[in-house]
Chain A
Amino acid sequence: MAKKVEVRIKRQKDNQAEPYWEEFHVDYQPNMNVITLLQEIQRNPVTVQGEKTTPVAWDCSCLEEICGACTMVINGQVQQSCSALVDNLEQPIVLEPMRKFPIVRDLLVDRTRMFEALKKVKAWIPIDGTYDLGAGPKQSQTNQQEMYLYSRCMTCGCCVDACPQYTPDNSFVGPAALGQVFLFNQNPTGKFNKEERLAAIMGDGGIQECGNAQNCVRVCPKEIPLTTGIAKLNGATLSQALKNLLKK
């Protein structure tokens, strides 16, 4: 008899519906990840009790831990399901949706709030104009290397899922957006709009809501030094706030 993989999945019809659990036994294949596990269940959605059920809904795209779409809570740990290998996971493998976002269905969540936060903090560099702006200012290798760490953010949401200050009821922009403020404020061209970004994180739900629990840096799959970036931003935001207070 073929080896089976035990899976427990927390399911939910929509955001208002009550969640419930279903268990599945899936035929083991070498090098399986959680995505292939879910694909097997989709192919044959029969629970361990032998009852036919609806296929489990989830999200995925790149399958190489670069897009962040397939993030979910696996055995209590928030992570990407594409890079979660069955061989490395304790069984039964427990799959739950992320905890902080509205649920669309089953493991599929709506992460709009993260993208709204990026818009709020202006996590971009405006370079559109009516004429060619030419090359940007030069930047040092050291600065490039530091910025590169923060540029790896894929807005997957692991950090906000683990952050105790980010809850469904409040307005905190979260560690990912703050990391992007740091990134764009470090950029020699991005610096021109530094004040606008700092102004955005001084308002409601801004950097002051960080509680230094530092879970974000522990769970970030891209190992972004979020807490260092936030601490640097703390200093920058403080001096900007005092400057505004005294000069405006």
Chain B
Amino acid sequence: MSSVPESPFLLRRFQSLLGIIPIGAFFCEHAFTNSLAYFYGPEKFNEAVEFLQGLPFVLFMEVFLIGVPILLHAAIGLYIWIFGQSNVQHYGYLRNWLYSLQRWTGVIAIIFIVYHVYKLRIEWTLNPDIHHINFEYVQEYFSKAWHVVFYFIGVAASAFHFANGLWNFMVKWGITVGERAQTASGYACSLIGVGVFAFFMSSLYAFS
């Protein structure tokens, strides 16, 4: 690594970028596709799933544009978590809480995503009787009450992590510099977070 002295800095900016593109972008797309079940009903949702699953190189894209970036983001993220030491008990400022919450929601999101990907992506792929996941399959999944609760918590944590991560991204890349700009982007990111969360919740309502 010593041959590239910029590597510690660039590695962390790379982690920050992965959180927005492709992970954040995929997260928003996912919220949008799911919400079709609520806004247009099961048929439109199934059509959208068919379309996405029919994209060329879909497995390749799922692994290398979604799976691997999430794993890298999480691995570097865990290192970041261990590096610092939360001190909200001494300094209860809002931004300090957001700092700690960013780490805790990240861990919740990892646990949620691992289980979520296994249950709603890998499991049916291994079952030769099922061609594609569809509305009924997801409805069946949400018949268990704890799946609904787990989904709620997992999505809430992920939405917070995405929104606050977006705010952080803009500071780290030198986009929002001054106090006023950072306050304004804070409101904007809160709105985006609540928006994405609402889209996911609309689909949860439709599925359960």
Q: Please report A residues at the B interface, Cβ cutoff 8 Å.
A: 76, 99, 162, 164-165, 167, 170, 172, 199, 201-204, 206-215, 218-219, 225, 227-228, 231-238, 241, 244-245
Q: Which of B9, B171, B177 contacts A202 (CB 8 A)?
A: B9
Asked if B172 and A76 sit within 8 Å, CB to CB, the answer is no
Asked if A231 and B99 sit within 8 Å, CB to CB, the answer is no
A202, chain B: closest CB distance, angstroms: 4
Asked if B8 and A204 sit within 8 Å, CB to CB, the answer is yes
Most chain A CB within a 10 A radius of its CB, from B6, B172, B182: B6
Given contacts A211-B80, A213-B99, A228-B177, contact A202 B8 (CB under 8 A): yes
In the complex, the chain A residue whose C-beta lies closest to that of B94 is A214
Mark the stretch among B63-71, B81-89, B111-119 that contacts chain A: B81-89
Asked if A228 and B9 sit within 8 Å, CB to CB, the answer is no
Q: Which of A162, A209, A236 contacts B83 (CB 8 A)?
A: A209
How many angstroms between the C-alpha atoms of A210 and B13 in the bound complex? 12
Asked if A241 and B91 sit within 8 Å, CB to CB, the answer is no
Contact with A along B1-36 (1 / 0, CB 8 A): 000111011111100000000000000000000000
Number of A-B contacts (CB under 8 A): 107
Q: Which residues of B contact A214 (CB under 8 A)?
A: 93, 95-96
Given contacts A164-B84, A212-B95, contact A238 B173 (CB under 8 A): yes
Asked if B168 and A203 sit within 8 Å, CB to CB, the answer is no
Residue total for B at the interface (Cβ-Cβ under 8 A): 35
Q: Which residues of A contact B90 (CB under 8 A)?
A: 76, 99, 162
How many angstroms between the C-alpha atoms of A185 and B159 in the bound complex? 38
How many angstroms between the C-alpha atoms of A214 and B98 in the bound complex? 10
Asked if B93 and A218 sit within 8 Å, CB to CB, the answer is yes
Q: Please report B residues at the A interface, Cβ cutoff 8 Å.
A: 4-6, 8-13, 80, 83-87, 90-91, 93, 95-96, 98-100, 102, 168, 171-179, 182
Given contacts A231-B174, A234-B171, contact A164 B96 (CB under 8 A): yes
A75, chain B: closest CB distance, angstroms: 11
Asked if B10 and A206 sit within 8 Å, CB to CB, the answer is no
Given contacts A170-B83, A234-B172, contact A245 B91 (CB under 8 A): no
In the complex, the chain A residue whose C-beta lies closest to that of B95 is A214
Q: Which of B13, B83, B171 contacts A212 (CB 8 A)?
A: B171
Q: Which residues of A contact B176 (CB under 8 A)?
A: 231
For the complex of A and B, 8 pairs with smallest distance between CB atoms: A235-B174, A213-B99, A208-B12, A202-B9, A214-B95, A231-B177, A234-B174, A241-B6
Asked if A228 and B173 sit within 8 Å, CB to CB, the answer is no
Given contacts A164-B100, A208-B12, contact A235 B173 (CB under 8 A): yes
Given contacts A202-B6, A231-B177, contact A208 B87 (CB under 8 A): no
Asked if B174 and A238 sit within 8 Å, CB to CB, the answer is yes
What would be 7 A-B contacts, judged by CB atoms less than 8 Å apart? A170-B84, A199-B6, A208-B12, A214-B95, A215-B91, A236-B174, A244-B5
Q: Which residues of A contact B12 (CB under 8 A)?
A: 208-209
Q: Which residues of A contact B175 (CB under 8 A)?
A: 235
How many angstroms between the C-alpha atoms of A71 and B90 in the bound complex? 16
Asked if A164 and B6 sit within 8 Å, CB to CB, the answer is no
Asked if A208 and B13 sit within 8 Å, CB to CB, the answer is yes
How many angstroms between the C-alpha atoms of A208 and B171 in the bound complex? 11
Q: Which residues of B contact A213 (CB under 8 A)?
A: 93, 95-96, 98-100
Given contacts A164-B87, A199-B5, A234-B174, contact A211 B13 (CB under 8 A): no
Q: Which residues of A contact B173 (CB under 8 A)?
A: 234-235, 238
A99, chain B: closest CB distance, angstroms: 8
Q: Which of B8, B171, B179 contacts A206 (CB 8 A)?
A: B8
Q: Which residues of B contact A231 (CB under 8 A)?
A: 171, 174, 176-178, 182
How many angstroms between the C-alpha atoms of A7 and B6 in the bound complex? 49
How many angstroms between the C-alpha atoms of A237 and B9 in the bound complex? 9
A160, chain B: closest CB distance, angstroms: 12
Q: Which residues of A contact B86 (CB under 8 A)?
A: 164
Q: Which residues of A contact B168 (CB under 8 A)?
A: 212
